[in-house]
């Protein structure tokens, strides 16, 4: 998927956007990692039968991504779970 396709097919709701902004800042994610997480979250949402990427899908994508430290990912999952 190219950047234009990611923008088209991996749109986030407001909550997802704020979570990804915070993840980018706190986990020091690169643009490449951001796009990789969005694509993975889109796949997870598709497998769950969801039209939209939800926070749960982002959490799972963050967890599966090896670009961030495991402890940081665990902390982020706890934040996401508390918001749901």
* Range(s) of the domain holding residue 25: 3-83
Give the tens place of pLDDT for each residue, 6-15.
877 888 988 8
The confidence score (pLDDT) of residue 59 equals: 87
Give the tens place of pLDDT for each residue, 24-69.
888 888 889 899 999 999 999 999 999 999 989 998 898 887 555 5
Task: Express as a percent the part of the chain with pLDDT over 90.
Answer: 29
Q: Cα dihedral angle (63, 67, 72, 73), rounded to 10 degrees?
A: -10
SS3 29: coil
Number of domain units in the chain: 1
Eight-state DSSP code of residue 1? -
CATH number at residue 14: 1.10.8
């Amino acid at each position: 998927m190219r950047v234009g396709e990611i923008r088209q097919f991996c749109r986030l709701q407001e909550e997802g956007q704020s979570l990804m902004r915070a993840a980018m800042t706190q986990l020091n994610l690169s643009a490449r990692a951001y796009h990789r997480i969005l694509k993975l979250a889109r796949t997870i949402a598709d497998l769950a039968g969801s039209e939209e990427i939800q926070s749960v899908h982002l959490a799972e994508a963050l967890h599966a991504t090896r670009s961030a430290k495991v402890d940081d990912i665990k902390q982020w999952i706890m934040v996401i779970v508390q918001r749901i």
